[in-house]
Chains A and B, each alone.
Chain A
Amino acid sequence: MAVAVPGQLNLDESPSWGSRSVDCFEKLEQIGEGTYGQVFMAREIKTGEIVALKKIRMDNEREGFPITAIREIKILKKLHHDNVIKLKEIVTSPGPEKDDNGKLDGNKYKGSIYMVFEYMDHDLTGLSDRPGMRFTVPQIKCYMRQLLTGLHYCHVNQVLHRDIKGSNLLIDNEGNLKLADFGLARSFSNDHNGNLTNRVITLWYRPPELLLGTTKYGPAVDMWSVGCIFAELLHGKPILPGKNEPEQLNKIFELCGAPDEVNWPGVSKIPWYNNFKPSRPMKRRVREVFKHFDRHALELLERMLTLDPSQRISAKDALDAEYFWNDPLPCDPKSLPKYESSHEFQTKKKRQQQRQHEEAAKRQKLQHPQQHARLPPIQQSGQVHPQLRPGPNPQMHNSQPPVVAGPSHHYGKPRGPSGGPNRYQQGGNPGGGYQGRGGQGGGYNSGPYPPQGRGAPYAASGMPGPGPRGGGSGYGVGGPNYSQGGPYRGSDGGRGSNMISGNRNQQYNNWQQ
């Protein structure tokens, strides 16, 4: 048993129960920042193992341990899969206040809780936003297959992820992809009639049924998000970047056609259908817009971006799709190129410099947006992977040796203001939410395709940056402070307290989220 004498640190390696102190870890670098608190890259002192520490801040909580953290812990404790992020343990740090005897223990609830995760080098959005980055088709297939495998596992275990998006898909340098951030996830049962909140999933990845206000839904919501990511990987940029909920629905209808009782039986009974139903007829244009995709990819995408959730393809069936069984086959994760990552301790100074460089880059990027737009995939399967050595700062590439290249997380960077209507407080922030995405409209001059951004119906260029990319989205339930976050995003803070305050107005019993 590992009980420390009061005032001493508990550094035992693995107590049979109870939690160790965060002092068992040496914080190396902050890799995420949000209203919730912080995410750190850290090293376990005893083993030298690198981990990610996600802080659950407690000091602002009026209702104790945040329910969102409870959900996440509950779910992560029961999921064990190669494609799901592993929660290694939970550690605590005593609060700032001490009682008269200097005893720390008593005020633990004012301290912090950290969730300890395995460290991952990148997230999918960060990786694909690297300047010059181009995924190959076998690479995309490899990521997609891992995503679907992990998600299928969740769904079999009756867990809905409810926030599938690129920044929540972590990738390590072995090419493994893992689902992360289960702060919005919850369990469901097939016979379960309870109502769930429809205010989940980052706006751009949110399925039409949620936007139309349904409160009874299932795994199909996650599959819509997967479809959006799939198309994004192939297309080179987000396909449905709506600014708010009505616009999001409109973009969906423009791409997938207007829902009616023929293509989606029962749609007219969904709460907000009448408010949002389009006034003019709209045709499904998926095949037309993405005609440059290969046949099998298009076929699979069509089935993911199906309006009617009951007809939408399941993760299991998607894994059986022709796409994954035809040349070029998905590659072995281990064969993927290893992108520079920073496992070495980086000093504070370096970090600051880096930030300054980033700031500079951001400003430059705004002026020359076309330089760093994301590229569509390379088609030839046999092609050598471009050896990329992108640093955190694209502008530095040619002039600096690529030694301190950062991992391509984008947590910490303001990738987008809080999504959802009326939550665009950061919208006026010049360039705020959009660096790395700037000027995608015209960025395809070097790809094998004609520049798709130009004149495409979803051209994102020129948008001041209202996208919910980086983690902010419309599920703050009226909260102003749910902004960006990385994949290890803390689940208290904005979202947590908002969810709870949402609950408060409800009947306490049988309330389902």
Chain B
Amino acid sequence: MAANFWASSHYKQLLEQEEVDVVHSPDKEKGFTLEDFKLIKMQMSNYIAKLAQYVKVRQRVVATAITYMRRVYTRKSMTEYEPHLVAPTCLYLASKAEESTVQARLLVFYIKKQYNDEKYRYEIKDILEMEMKVLEALNYYLVVYHPYRPLSQLLQDAGMTELTQLSWGLLNDTYKMDVILIYPPYMIALACIYIASVLKEKDTTAWFEELRADMNVVKNISMELLDFYDSQKVTADERIGAALHKLALKP
């Protein structure tokens, strides 16, 4: 939103990996593992993206919504904050914050379309109620910087616009993980460019050197992303199902 990421609340709120990977005690009591926690967050990211397609909002809104959802779960348990409600609520809130307002009514319509299961069907009042809780959990910090703009700028600077599509897709996938909570957006953008250039066998060593970016960080993010893709080779559906089942257990 603003010119200066470094002065933003987003920058000040960047977390360490260990702070993000905390399974809260109500969830732990159900036998929830960190893996389960991550899987459900990924599943909810996908859910947000799917709903967003229905209600037709920009990618930016999706990215902000997922970031909200992930921020909420650094502080709240899934037991208290039911993911299937938090996810659409974050989309609803993000649509306002990003000036692409979606009506709650519309969202509820598509939630019902998505789920036959009575358990996950929510009404407008549920969303509005959860909105307040989400706002509070976010401490009303609503500004999120995304790597999309830096990505296009960097690609243009580098004269590698042919990598746009690939790196953009990679970037979309980073939202299935928590990297947006941990790294500055331009670093995430650089990691996507890095992977894309390796895949397309483009030599970018000189360009990266000139940029003087911290390549350790860039490589860390890249490794995380590649690990993530590896883990996705094993079909995740089953594991997600198991994790959701645990969550459904009564405490």
Q: Which residues of A contact B (CB under 8 A)?
A: 17-19, 61-65, 67, 70, 73-74, 77-78, 80, 90, 92, 106-109, 113, 156-159, 186-187, 189, 500, 503-504, 508-513
Contact = CB atoms under 8 A, between A and B. Distances in A.
10 contacts: A61-B128, A64-B132, A74-B142, A77-B9, A78-B143, A80-B7, A109-B125, A109-B128, A157-B3, A504-B101
Contacts, number: 100
A509 B4 CA distance: 25
Contact of A107 (B129, B136, B140): B129
A67 B127 CA distance: 15
A67 B143 contact: no
Given A78-B2, A78-B8, A109-B128, A18 B57 contact: no
Interface stretch (B92-100, B184-192, B230-238): B92-100
A513 B9 CA distance: 23
A341 B35 CA distance: 59
B200 interface: no
A157 B5 CA distance: 11
Nearest to A87: B140
B137 A17 contact: yes
Interface of B: 1-4, 7-9, 55-58, 75, 92-93, 95-97, 99-104, 125, 127-129, 131-133, 135-137, 139-143
A19 B8 CA distance: 20
Contacts of B128: 61, 63-64, 109
Contacts of B75: 17
A504 B58 CA distance: 17
A109 B129 contact: yes
Given A19-B139, A109-B128, A508-B57, A78 B102 contact: no
Given A65-B132, A92-B132, A108-B132, 6 more contacts: A17-B137, A156-B3, A189-B3, A508-B57, A508-B101, A511-B100
A90 B140 contact: yes
A108 B133 contact: yes
Contact of A508 (B3, B56, B125, B131): B56
Contacts of B127: 64
Given A64-B128, A78-B9, A107-B129, A70 B97 contact: yes
A512 B99 contact: yes
A159 B125 CA distance: 33
A19 B93 contact: no
A109 B142 CA distance: 18
B2 A70 contact: no
A90 to B, nearest CB: 5
A19 B96 contact: no
Contact of A77 (B56, B100, B141): B141
A92 B55 CA distance: 31
B100 A510 contact: yes
Contacts of A17: 75, 137, 139
A187 B55 CA distance: 24
A187 B97 CA distance: 11
A19 B101 contact: no
B1 A187 contact: yes
A291 to B, nearest CB: 41
Nearest to B142: A74
Given A19-B139, A77-B142, A509-B56, A503 B101 contact: yes
A106 B129 contact: yes
Contacts of B57: 508-509
